[in-house]
Structure 1
Amino acid sequence: MRIEDCRTDFPITRDLIYLDSAATSLTPKPVVQAMVEYDLRYRANVGRGVHRLANVATHRYRDAHDAIKSFIGGEGGTLTITRNTTEAIGAVAAGLDWKKGDRVVTTLLEHHSNLLPWLRLRERGVAVDIVRPNSDGGLEIADLEAAIRDETRLVAVTHASNVLGTVLPVREIAGICRDRGAKFLVDGAQSTPHIPVDVAAIGCDYFCFSGHKMLGPTGTGGLWMRRPDLEPLHVGGGSIESASSDGYTLAPGEERYEAGTPPVAGTIGLARAAAYLREIGMDAVRRHEERLTARLIDGLAALDGVTVAGLDAGTDRIGVVSFTVEGMHPHEVAQILDEASAVLVRSGHHCCQPLMEHLGLPDGTVRASTYIYTTTEEIDTLIATVEEISRRAI
């Protein structure tokens, strides 16, 4: 599939310019059709019955499970389907056997979902060391390495910032963690949809991602584990091998982490989304967004009264660009973009309030985020509209 031909699968793009994919991507027709087919043709629970619909549903669900695992290069590990990245990270925070005096290292670049669960562990005597980026949002790996102590149990970082778009050198960080004896968690919510991901090559212990940011349905995501060394967040139907009034034995492998009925339709839809991205090619996705991002940053940076947050276009980054217009609140800018040009962007703190305070942006930013269905003409419309807004503000 050529990336230029995909827009027909996204009907919403006929009526507006959607530049909020970092929050939730649009969903193509083939993904919707895959979920509808399950509901209308073979809807049944999985792993429980022997009738024909149960057999078909179970087979399709397991195939989808394997396809999602393969998409992130995780064939050698364990994947559990979650509702989103937040739940996946929470499962790690709840599933490790923490001891008083253990430490966690994370950064101020993190989404709240990869910060608050670790801060919550302070109630159990776990210390949290937070590495701060420099003034333009860049992270010094030496600072991260210096924060890791003998007591550090886990290092948790984002693969790509949802505010600045910066891609962190996670392979390098993984090597540092191995050398220092710390486990390594990667928040892949923003990277998985936009750049090729290979968790085996990264070398992380845990990788968390969301389906709704990668063309899939809401309420889906995944937690990949190099080894299934976490205590399950829930136990119950489907997660046990046997049970009696005296106790139970957990099922082996992935099933022990998926108590209850899983999101069958959603998982099938997420697998179809992964297949859709594979048909285009993740390298093609990345090149497309790099071109759009460079155009957007250069266009905005040339405008009087407009400031682009973060590093320049030459850095390793995804298609996320945050900016401010002098004298205007980000919400006001976003509302005018919608009303004047049908351009939809995110505004505010983007669930990264500590980072915003660190960067001196108490009201947050306007954030435009691109994806496979974004065109250069849409980027030019955004730039032109922001230019008009900035003139008015001045």
Structure 2
Amino acid sequence: MRLFIVISLYVLGITGSPVCVDQMTTRTVQSGGSVTIPCSYSDPGKPDEDVRVIWGETDQEYCSSVTAEDTIISSSGNVIEKYKGRLYREKDPNRNRTEYITITGLEPTDGPRFCCLLYHNRHENVFKNSRLATLLQFQGTEYITQLDEVMAVSREDVIIPCYYSKDISDITKVTWYYADRERHYCTHTRIQEWSNAHQYGRYSLVNFTQDISLRIRNLHVTDERSFCCVISTSTARATLESEQFTRLIVEEYQSSWNQPTNNITSQEGKSVILSCSYTLPSGRYTEIDVVRVNVYWRVGNVTGPYAYHPYREMVHSTYRHRTSITGMTNLMIMNVTKADNTSFHCFMVVKQCAGDYRYDDNIQYGGGTRLIIKEPSEPSEPPPTSSFGQESLVLAAYVAVKFFIAVILVVLGCVYGRAKNTKRST
């Protein structure tokens, strides 16, 4: 009886598991360029064939403001005139419940914010949306932007980037805050304020005023918080704060991580794929609660630079244009060199739906791989031939030619003799 009730509730779309929809808060773009905006969601508790992702645009911060008139691409794939020929939708082939829209030929009148909404085909209604819309920040305008997420391991020093779109030398004051991510409130608790390069305890700016990113030294697990950046400039009448808050996710360091469990051999100049996988620990969450998985690969050791990062600007220059993710988590390195003869370590941040617009972030260590690079093999040369052998070959060729000519002469003689005898007899 209980099983029948559970199945009935699932079919009706009434389950106890919360549903979360997730998208990035900001994307930096330029006029005439393109942008790809991903949308991920946890299991909606409804049959897959009944659920569609639709998209809307708004000038409001929250997606709850989106109405039917704001829809830019419907569940059937119809695109409004404004974006016709410029907007494309596709599903991620490697990730369940992840979809993208790509908009080309961007114009300042686009958006400025886009919302991902879950639509029930049979009931013809939106039953869930992302809380915050994705804002397009056009180059040339004034804004601050941060990364959505930074993963780290305890004991290391970590940098939380903050980028200002205008002349950074105009900045007169920088303030970093702990943010309230659920209520999207930046100035929640002040960490420190800087008007010079002074360091305060474990906190400092990377290089005031050349780089206003926050550095935290000797990281602790308790540093796992959300952070936001606020600045004042010599020309601004008011402070400017970031629209995107950075979630710092910290995992306790384990010395066993530095011992790679796999070995892979490759030749210099080739491409290689390093594998990585994760399993959810038994407990509160299951696979249906996963909203998205971000993959990170570090090189040398578990606190080394990034060989791959979801945000390209964080990837070490050695790997910035040589690495990509295949499948869900595997790392592809192109044109490997001797410098790649080291270990690579995989981490995944698994974002799980904890309730309406609430998430739990869990770091999974996917193991280490030792990459062994061999030099390209030299083409084999034919064995050297002695002068005696060469003379034998020449002599054999000479005899063969003479024999061939003799055979031809004999044949011609026979033909000629037969022809002459035939003529006499006539």
| Bigger fraction of residues in helix | 1
Structure with higher RCO (Cα < 8 A, 6+ apart): 1
**Structure of larger gyration radius:** 2
Question: Could you tell me the TM-score, scaled by structure 2's length?
Answer: 0.20
